[in-house]
Structure 1
């Protein structure tokens, strides 16, 4: 089971965006990477197509999962993730506050 999933609020632990928070847009489990909204923005040259015009666009690049931590639901600070079984289901729990991360 993954510790970081699409839709999670995460805090960046290392790199140029250290300390910033964002929401996970996409996770690549085989590469251990994730795309986070507003984090690790890069500029790319875009060729003109029928639907898009040419120019330099900004978009999110992948960031390694080791550089991300789940934001605690209580105070938004980075926390580690544990797993607890509730009603026969495996639920993610924040180690910092003990609160459930999954709805």
Structure 2
């Protein structure tokens, strides 16, 4: 039912850059993570028009909705605003943390903005 799961390296409130698709080059903040689908919802990106049918007492409408993006189509932005990759380090005390592969700096767990 679900695709093969990869390790999701993105967390809520991470600042990311879209690297593929119609919104390529747009940066935004992650609003929701779907680990089973390997997708994330990025604020202000991948917007589509949804048509609402009229029902009794209410007119029809067109609204813009955001759809999730695959994790392969985004890259995290480091402190300098450059697209980077994420790695994992395990400290001597056994705690696991994320770090930027280009700079080596550790990413805080409360989200990276």
TM-score normalised per structure 2: 0.78
RMSD of aligned residue pairs (Cα, Å): 2.0
Q: State the structure with bigger RCO (CA 8 A, min sep 6), 1 or 2.
A: 2
Structure 2: segments with no counterpart, 5+ residues = 1-6
The whole-number CA distance in structure 2 between the counterparts of 1:48 and 1:11 is: 37
Question: Does residue 1:68 correspond to 2:74, yes or no?
Answer: yes
SS of corresponding position for 2:63 = strand
Higher strand share: 1
Q: 2:49 aligns with which of 43, 48, 67?
A: 43
Q: In structure 1, what is the equivalent of residue 88 of structure 2?
A: 83
Measure how far apart 1:85 and its partner are: 2.3
4+ residue segments displaced more than 4 Å = none
Measure how far apart 1:47 and its partner are: 4.3
The whole-number CA distance in structure 2 between the counterparts of 1:59 and 1:101 is: 30
- How many residue pairs match? The answer is 100
Question: Does residue 1:17 correspond to 2:50, yes or no?
Answer: no
Structure with bigger gyration radius: 2
